[in-house]
Amino acid sequence: MVDILDCGGKSLDLRTPQVMGILNVTPDSFSDGGLFISVEQAIQQARRMVDEGAAIIDVGGESTRPGAKPVSAAEEIERVIPIIEAIARELPVVISVDTSKPEVMRAAVAAGAGLINDVRALREEGTLNAAAALGVPVCLMHMRGEPRSMQENPHYLDVVSEVKSFLAERVSRCIEAGIARERLLIDPGFGFGKKTEHNLALIKHLDAFLDIGLPVLVGVSRKSTIGAVLERSVADRLPGSLALATLACWMGARIIRAHDVAATADALKICHAVKNAN
């Protein structure tokens, strides 16, 4: 498994767990929609997250919350490119683009992004070829259905084995398309077409995904599973988010995608220190 990931000329050290800071530049994301739409607001938030310990800033221009409406590639590009350019110009941090559109991938990498984070695992037309040509790492995520309908009674016979099989198949397809294995990461997709019991099972058996032999990224920050277990609103889910992030780190996740960077970075440092103690 790769330890140092080359993200468009910027190195990402995966020998220790890293935080991917979430920067949604959308009006309708479930937790922070509308907060960071302007370039000035976005760069201030990116700077804050880097100061707090983020190794990656994940810029997304289309909400993938349940019920979200799709946006065009042109609108997504208009939202994310000025912000990616500003971050690349001002901060020495790996920039990830959260997109499923080949046009956005190409524009984002040209603007300074060094990682593609695709919730559809390069299944959209043209994305495999685009990712192969761009030469930057790609995170493949599992999602059953589409954002608008993914939470309408999702069903699995064995969620761990089914998600694992899906990701292994997508890895094979990427390699066939010319994407080097050492450029791939995987994400089980917590909350994407999954009920609370599915998400809890994925965390409990997260180490099963290490068998694929690729770095595992986990995004559990403020998710509805936390609300279901703790009966907490989105604004009150930090303790639950940290608990899940720590569990994921303990089970082998290399990257934790989070809104609350400082607290998450501290939790991961403690977890890593305990795991590596004599």
Domains and CATH numbers, the chain: 16-272 (3.20.20.20)
Q: In the prediction, which pLDDT does 30 show?
A: 47
What the block records as the tokens of 230 is: 């703790």
- Residue numbers in the chain where pLDDT is lower than 50: 29-30, 32-33
Q: What are 202-214's pLDDT values in tens digits? A: 999 999 999 999 9
**Exposure string over 8-27, b if 16+ CB within 10 A, otherwise e:** bebebebeebbbbbbbbbbe
User: CA-CA distance, 208 to 49, in Å (whole number)?
Assistant: 31
The DSSP code sequence of 155-213 is --SSHHHHHHHHHHHHHHHHHHTT--GGGEEEE--TTSS--HHHHHHHHHTGGGGGGG-
Q: In the prediction, which pLDDT does 33 show?
A: 47
Contacts of 236 (CB under 8 A, 6+ apart): 230
69 is a catalytic site residue: no
Contacts of 151 (CB under 8 A, 6+ apart): 66, 193
101 is a catalytic site residue: no
Of the residues 101, 223, 237, 254, only one is catalytic, namely: 223
